Structure 1
């Protein structure tokens, strides 16, 4: 019997048997199950299987970490054993969503909207980091930037800055594409909607506060501000939902022969007017109020805010609620130009990797040693799932050590006003997305996130006999 076949049999048994599996699929590294009853899962038995690197439940799906290259082979064996048939990721999501409460469904919706555009946002963060190195003063020369000393590099930096800023300048188009698709509409119309909200004829949102006279439309006596929504999240989210619902409504009532001629023009026209008359102004005000409230809390008690956020971020990952903070980060960047939340996320990821690395030295189990090392490297590069679910949560003291280190590091960088103009890779490369003038305190924060979890995990692990 092949190793993959044997592993598949044991996994099926550990998750409660094939009668407990509603559907199953896989991604690059994990098996994803929609189970009848997750209470029937024997996690201890599951995680003792050689090929299994960890397991966790998120968004109604039970996920088993196998690893790249092996997971598809185990999945094929699992399908052959159970006869459940191949399922798509969307089918698994649909099956899992039925078991979610309203809050979980709302969080899942946000995750489904923002995760597809995350590669573009992270890429922008890295490119802006390169631009920071070229244009940041005091990095290589006293009170001067690299382009100040070597002006021949100025246009090179300018092109990088243009490429990097594109995703944020047209952020509503990215969100519109993903959101309208999620809400059941035509994603191409979502792109058009997003671009419409940042049209050059509109007053740029970033110039709103410094403009003496705001241009207006006069619709038969109704005056409407001609304001764009660059960098804004909430206006395009609500407008995308309205657009998708109108489109679905019209498709059900207009004959197929006339749909191409009528559905898209009517849906986009109605949504456009609603966006500028109602949706935009209301959600823009709400978004700014949320931004001011978050900023005010951290300004009033930066140490406490950093401590609590650093402490709670990793537990929020377990619940899936961390996805909501990407929207907050993007809103902060759109409204203020920077975010103070994302740097703490990067340190939280590093802390999880350090705790996993500590377990490699604390345990005598060879399988745990190997898993700890590989998952620590993954976490240091921004992917924390193997470290968090495969190692740290299995040994609770390691997870607690990680969030303690994250909390202390978060408190330190918040006190020192560390800011990021973009969202980047949430691990050791994160400094590239931090303002150059904040590198000093951020590097100290990184050191805290590396040393504290590692030392705590190692010391406690050596004292325990059950690891």
Structure 2
């Protein structure tokens, strides 16, 4: 079936154009906001070609197509004149859990920033490879023989995104909440102004914070997320209120000036100190969990991470990874959650090899590959969760892999890439251990599913 035919059938099966409020998409899912869930013909939607699963959550009917395919289907839907919008502009219905709606907003803010963090992670991995004594030794070189200007250039590649992260976060937050993104950028840059004591230098003890009224510490907020996020929310809403009351004649002059003046004071004197302290507490708590003995952290995080993916609130962990990288220079969280993803891929692969259904094979194999590239939604919603036991076996595999990752003290040099692409974050002396942990996670998920988690009898009635 051609993509335009699939798009037409999707519109028909979700209740027709009159039942659709808006359509958006993320990396893998077509997200359809509907008026009435009862009008959706869910079985027919899931039986469509290229559909790898579907579920209803917080007013959105989310149809899993997988990377690449979802963009093409979205384009065909938009050609049919349906109300397509950017994902960040799609409003979530108020009937969802308030916590999940809040996390979804956080995800909408953070997702546009992920590409530069992925690129930065790759740069970090490559720099780690190029500066390894073992690799340099193959060319008769040593670390001290590397040109200083080249090292400086690599630092520009790896440090810029994190140093100016508040500007990226504030920009995206203003955009999501309907403010002017350029005001968000400037506000974020104010949080990392070179006029302020550098956060890294303060942490290293080579600089002192500015003490306002002898008790409010003011520093730059390099690498932080929450101060810029909260400032962006308040700032965007303040700007929108000002535009309603300021006469059009003075809007260009007054609105940006007042917004930046008020928000710069709030951000530096109130929001920044409070939420930077909160981030520190969260970071310390996470590090405490990751430091639990006997691999307990790996079992807990590796075993439950993909359950959190099902709920759609997993984006909250992005800022934890950022903080781990910023404050410790490494990311043990990445290695553990990678095990959970790899195990789900192994479970899906087992279903594909064991089933005699050609349609399920055609669905399972690419979904397994997607999971091994770090995108698990097709595997989870299209295969594993549909038959329940494969998903549970994948969770067990993730717990085993997470346990080993924790015991071996694996830690990535970046974030946001996992499993096969994530190899680039471990191109130091951790590479063998990283591969071993993931192979074991895949094997456990695969074997448990193949022997105990799936039978073709489960396909009856489909």
TM-score normalised by the shorter chain: which range applies?
Answer: 0.7 to 0.9
Number of the residue aligned with 1:425 = 417
Relative to structure 1, is the Cα distance of residues 374 and 313 closer, same or farther in structure 2, using a 3 angstrom cutoff?
A: same
Deviation, structure 1 residue 378: 1.8
Task: Verify: 1:361 aligned to 2:360, yes or no.
Answer: no
Q: Which residue of 2 aligns with 1:134?
A: 130
Give the 3 Å change call, closer, same or farther, for CA 253–75 of structure 1 in structure 2.
closer
Given the alignment, which residue of 187, 193, 203 partners 2:197? 203
Deviation (angstroms), 1:290: 1.2
CA contact (8 A) 1:34 1:60 kept: yes
Query: 2:188 matched to which residue of 1?
Result: 194
Q: 2:174 aligns with which of 150, 163, 180?
A: 180
Is the 1:419–1:435 contact (alpha carbons within 8 Å) kept by the matching residues of 2? no
In structure 2, the CA distance between the partners of 1:3 and 1:428, relative to structure 1 (3 Å rule), is closer
The structural deviation recorded for 1:153 is 6.0
Distance, in Å, in 2 between the alignment partners of 1:18 and 1:86 is 7
2:98 is equivalent to residue 102 of structure 1: yes
Which of 447, 451, 456 pairs up with 2:448?
Answer: 456
Distance 1:456 1:224 in 2: 55
Q: CA contact under 8 A between 1:311 and 1:403: conserved in structure 2?
A: yes
Q: Determine the C-alpha separation between the residues in 1 that align with 2:398 and 2:168.
A: 31
**Structure 2 Cα separation of the partners of residues 202 and 240 of structure 1:** 20
Deviations 1:31-50 (A, max 9, x none): 43223444564544433333
Q: Which residues in structure 2 correspond to 1:213-228 (within 5 Å)?
A: 214-216=208-210, 225-228=217-220
Structure 1's unaligned 5+ residue stretches are none
Q: Is the 8 A contact 1:339 1:419 kept in 2?
A: yes
Shift of 1:119: 0.6
- Spell out, residue by residue over 1:199-243, the C-alpha distance to the aligned partner (whole angstroms, 9 max, x if none): 22222111223337625376xx66754411111112111222232
Matched, 1:32 2:28: no
> Residue 457 of structure 2 corresponds to which residue in structure 1?
465
Distance 1:459 1:292 in 2: 41
Partner Cα distance (1:336, 1:391) in 2:
37
- 1:232-274: CA deviation from partner (whole Å, max 9, x where unpaired): 1121112222322322222222111111111112211221122
> Relative to structure 1, is the Cα distance of residues 161 and 216 closer, same or farther in structure 2, using a 3 angstrom cutoff?
closer
Please, which runs of 5 or more residues in structure 2 have no aligned partner?
Answer: none
Partner of 1:34, secondary structure, is strand
Give me the TM-score of the superposition, normalised by structure 2.
0.88
TM-score (normalised: structure 1): 0.87
| Counterpart in the other structure of 1:311 | 303
| 2:192 aligned counterpart, secondary structure | coil
Q: What is the distance in 2 between the residues matched to 1:260 and 1:146?
A: 61
Alignment match, 2:84: 88
Question: In the alignment, which residue of structure 2 is the partner of 1:324?
Answer: 316
Mapping of residues 125-164 of structure 1, within 5 Å: 125-138=121-134, 141=137, 148=142, 151-152=145-146, 155-164=149-158
Residue 109 of structure 1: how far off its partner (Å): 1.1
| 1:260–1:4 CA distance, 2 compared to 1 (3 A) | closer
> Contact 2:57/2:96 (CA < 8 Å) preserved in 1?
no
Instruction: Between 6-15 and 290-299, report the one with greater CA deviation.
Output: 6-15
1:386 to 355, 378, 386: 378
Say if 1:420 and 1:435, in contact at 8 Å, map to a contact too: no
3-state SS in 1 of match to 2:458: coil
Task: Please give the per-residue CA displacement for 1:7-45, whole angstroms capped at 9, x wherever unaligned.
Answer: 567545654566654444556764432234445645444
SS of equivalent residue, structure 1 residue 64:
strand
CA distance in 1, matches of 2:245, 2:348: 57
Residues 157/43 of structure 1: CA separation in 2 closer, same or farther (3 Å cut): farther
Aligned equivalent of 2:165, options 168, 171, 180: 171
Specify whether residues 137 and 71 from structure 1 end up closer, same or farther in structure 2 by C-alpha distance, changes over 3 A only.
closer
Counterparts of 1:338-377 in structure 2, within 5 Å, are 338-377=330-369
Distance 1:147 1:243, change over 3 A: farther
Question: Aligned in 2, Cα 1:60/1:122: closer, same or farther, shift over 3 Å?
Answer: farther
Residue number among 270, 278, 282 corresponding to 2:262 in the alignment: 270
CA RMSD in angstroms comes to 3.1
State the alpha-carbon separation in 1 of the partners of residues 73 and 298 from structure 2. Answer: 43
